[in-house]
Amino acid sequence: MAKAHEFPSRLLRGYATFRDQRLPQESSRYKVLAETGQRPRTMILGCSDSRAAPETIFDAAPGELFVVRNVAALVPPFTPDGEHHGTSAAIEFGVMGLKVRNLVVMGHGRCGGITAYMAERDAPELQGSNDYISKWTSLLKPAEALICDDPVETTDRQRAMEFASIRQTIENLRTFPWIKSLEEIDELELHGAWFDISTGELYLLDKETGRFTVPDEIVV
């Protein structure tokens, strides 16, 4: 058993692999990033779930994505109340500081945050049984009105809520005045995506129909 003060050996082994294999290939890129700073064109708002890492799913190089992750990939509506808003601060930095061109809200299948919300909704006695999660996932309540009458969403309650959550988060993002104004002049695009952990498929939100589908082809 590892001692409490020892750094996790799995992480050290992973770093050794990175240092010996990937770092030599990316060393010039890291030097440029260190000297000139980051200039990602895309920001990903994703879930903290260890199975749905955006950098892995999109095969991203260092400096390519600005990633913010939290429970269930949620964003509270614009609330400049002087309180601590870690997610909102990160969004402000990505949009206003880094001037990303794309902001992608990416949910995923079997999301624990969505499951927790649904469990408390169906069993009110569970509400308030934790210090922070219930308050955070209560942001999902308005999303229930955004569930579509799509066959998939009428038969799979979990997936329906995961899809609706992405729609709601995009709506919440539009309550930020600087996001809304940048989107209106086509300097920022909001996108929705959902990753199926079990199959590895990526679903995209159709901006016209509001439904999620697997793209027919991947254009590169």
Residue 57 lies in a domain: yes
Residue 177 lies in a domain: yes
CB 54 within 8 A of CB 106: yes
Whether 33 and 128 share a structural domain: no
Residue 219 lies in a domain: no
**pLDDT cut 70: percent of the chain above it:** 96
| Total number of residues shown for the chain | 220
pLDDT of residue 129: 72
Confidence of residue 142 (pLDDT cuts 50, 70, 90): very high
The residue with greater pLDDT, 128 or 161, is 161
Q: What average pLDDT does this structure show over 30-52?
A: 97
Question: Considering only CA atoms, which of 156, 167, 169 is closest in space to residue 196?
Answer: 156
Residue 103 lies in a domain: yes
Whether 24 and 103 share a structural domain: no
Whether 26 and 115 share a structural domain: no
Whether 2 and 72 share a structural domain: no
Q: What average pLDDT does this structure show over 132-145?
A: 95
Residue 16 lies in a domain: yes
Q: What average pLDDT does this structure show over 188-204?
A: 97
Whether 15 and 120 share a structural domain: no
**pLDDT cut 90: percent of the chain above it:** 85
Whether 16 and 59 share a structural domain: no
pLDDT of residue 84: 86
Q: How many domains are there within the chain?
A: 2
Whether 6 and 94 share a structural domain: no
Q: What is the pTM of this model?
A: 0.93
What pLDDT digit, counting tens, does each position of 17-38 carry? 999 999 999 999 999 999 999 9
- Provide the domain limits for residue 23: 1-37
pLDDT of residue 220: 60
d(CA 46, CA 206): 18
Average pLDDT, the chain: 94
Cα distances from 117 to residues 77, 146, 153, in angstroms, run 18, 16, 17
Whether 20 and 94 share a structural domain: no
Q: Which amino acid is at 200?
A: G
Whether 122 and 30 share a structural domain: no
Residue 51 lies in a domain: yes
pLDDT of residue 66: 98
Whether 62 and 18 share a structural domain: no
Whether 160 and 75 share a structural domain: yes
CATH of residue 180: 3.40.1050.10
What pLDDT digit, counting tens, does each position of 112-129 carry? 999 999 999 988 777 767
Q: What average pLDDT does this structure show over 5-9?
A: 88
Whether 81 and 67 share a structural domain: yes
